[in-house]
Amino acid sequence: MAEASFRLAPPFKMSEDKLADQFRKWKSQLEIYLEASGTNKKPPKTQSAIILHCAGAEAIEVFEQIDFADGEDRSDPTQVLGKLQQYCSPRNNEVLERYRFWNLPFCTPFDKFATELKAQSEKCNFLEKDMMIRDKIIFAAPKDLKERLLREPEITLKRTIDICQAYEQTASNLKEMKQEDKIEKVVKTGFKKPTGKPFKQYEGTRRFNTRPSGANKDRECGYCGKKHTFNKEECPAWGKTCNHCGGKNHCKIKCKKIHSLTEEMDSDNEAWLNAIGDGKKRATACLKVNNCEVRFQLDTAADVNTIQQRFVKKEQVTKSDQTLVMWNGTKMTPLGETKLQVLNEKTGQTLPVKFTVVKNNLNCLLSLTTCQDLRRLTRTLNHKSLRAERYPLL
């Protein structure tokens, strides 16, 4: 194939910064051209002329000023390249280059990091270059990757590079799968009431909305809870005072202050607790759980049973994704859940009960359903100090 069909290596500029790096890159291009064009099969003098022609005017001027010792041949292409390389890196500090090699930070993509290491190692004159590059990769790798590499017996540079490339690809695949899982995940959101008020009103007083005469009579009234024509004069709540909040024009059964919290609890993972922390005296029952006497508050408004963590063994507790809503509307995450045998010593009745485990500063509660299952509970309002075996904290 004709030489003209191959693109010559670009001229080398002697005024460039980092001359040694520039010469190394130019030399690689030149060697590819010499091999592809068949120039390396021509006489040495012809090869030297082509090399200087590719190097350009600045390099030729420098080459003419270089002294050759006795026995050195100016027409030898190997010596021509050697002299030019020596000129471009006259003060190459091996110690400094090795310092730079060992301080190269690990970066991604990994192939870029490996390429930088190999290029820097060329300036370090390592006797065992592959081993040095292998060690540098292992030393600089992240913790998980480093542990994986150190498990390999008699690991080579090639094996090191293969493992790092596979690790990087796996991490990329997992990240992509995680993003897809987030997109496909169904998120349940609770109903949120509008924050703005459509009209001004006195606190506790509800404005009665009337509807046209043809409105549906079968719909439940939002003010009294009964079914009637939507006309304020026909509503039993019109002009009445609420027994709960003292407001006007609605009954206690439809009082918004009672239902404001429960309306927001639209999630299957939320449970209502009425008695925890409200400071009121309530009916209690003493039951035996895990060979300990535990005093429970009987809370018919609670959706779940709760027990303090000191009465439960660590291995009995499993993870719970439930959220507890307290009597004052605040929310908390429980420590877990468990199912325990409960003994009512007054009646001898034993029953498996599912509990939500809470911190020791909160009360133990029995819900309405459990109270109904444990019939004939002995109730008392007197709080007795109990001495119970305490298990290690969860």
Kindly report the CATH number that applies to the domain delimited by 270-373: 2.40.70.10
DSSP 394: -
Instruction: Give me the pLDDT at residue 33, please.
Output: 86
pLDDT of residue 337: 93
Q: CA 303: distance to chain centroid?
A: 32
What pLDDT score does 223 carry? 80
CA 350 from chain center: how many Å? 45
Q: What is the dihedral of CA 164, 167, 168, 170, to 10 degrees?
A: 160
Helices of type H across the chain: 19-37, 44-55, 57-64, 77-88, 94-102, 110-121, 129-140, 143-150, 157-184, 256-264, 368-373
Q: What is the pLDDT of residue 5?
A: 67
Q: Please name the residue that has the structure tokens 């299957």.
A: 268
Question: For residues 314 and 331, what is the distance between their CA atoms, to the nearest angstrom?
Answer: 24
pLDDT at 28: 85
- 256-271: buried (b, 16+ CB within 10 Å) or exposed (e) per residue? beeeeeeeebeeeebb
**In 10 A of CB 302, how many CB atoms?**
25
Q: What pLDDT is stored for residue 24 in this prediction?
A: 80
Chunked mean pLDDT (size 10), the chain, 394 residues = 64 73 83 86 88 86 82 83 79 82 92 91 89 95 92 92 93 82 54 47 48 56 78 79 77 67 50 56 83 86 87 90 77 89 86 91 86 62 41 40
CA triplet 324, 329, 330: central angle to 5 degrees?
A: 60
